[in-house]
Amino acid sequence: MFSLKHEINIGSDKDTVFKALVTREGLKGWWTEDVEAKPEVGSHAVFGFFDRETVFTMNIDKISSTCIEWTCIDGPEEWIDTKQIFELEELESGTTKLRFTHSNWKEDNGAYPSCNTTWGHLMVNLKEYCEGLEPGPYFK
């Protein structure tokens, strides 16, 4: 199995980053404007892209103050059973280190390379959103 990994320091407190990752409003601020989500373990978050040509459904596996985990249960075949893990660490400087892993990929070709690039862009968009720069959703 293969994993994508990203790490970024965000000039914001951990609570702000946490809300950006678990609330509908937060996710709309940096990822996609077509999102249905609530911060409850066992619930499903649904993300639509390109006028719903592509739709991902994530099971919310874990929510804690330092870790959010999802498993893709519906969407493009390559994504099914992949996991997205967001680990948060508040640093002394008042910033938050985000470690992101998208794991359980069966192959490192197909959508894998372009997905890695997109997650890199999304991490920057998330950073800007949490720092109050209002970049808007990456996918509109």
pLDDT (tens digit, 9 = 90+) per residue, 28-75? 999 999 999 999 999 999 999 999 999 999 999 999 999 999 999 999
Into how many domains does the chain fold? 1
Which CATH number covers residue 42? 3.30.530.20
pLDDT (tens digit, 9 = 90+) per residue, 16-36? 999 999 999 999 999 999 999
10-32 in b/e burial notation, b at 16+ Cβ within 10 A?
A: bebebebbbebbbeeebbbbbbb
Q: Which residue range is the domain that position 77 belongs to?
A: 2-130
Within a domain: residue 80? yes
Within a domain: residue 139? no
Phi first, then psi, for residue 54 (nearest 5°) are: -125, 130
The pTM (predicted TM-score) of the whole model is 0.95
Residue 92's pLDDT is what? 87
Q: What is the dihedral angle through the alpha carbons of 136, 19, 100, 134, rounded to the nearest 10 degrees?
A: 20
pLDDT band at 140 (very low <50, low <70, confident <90, very high): confident
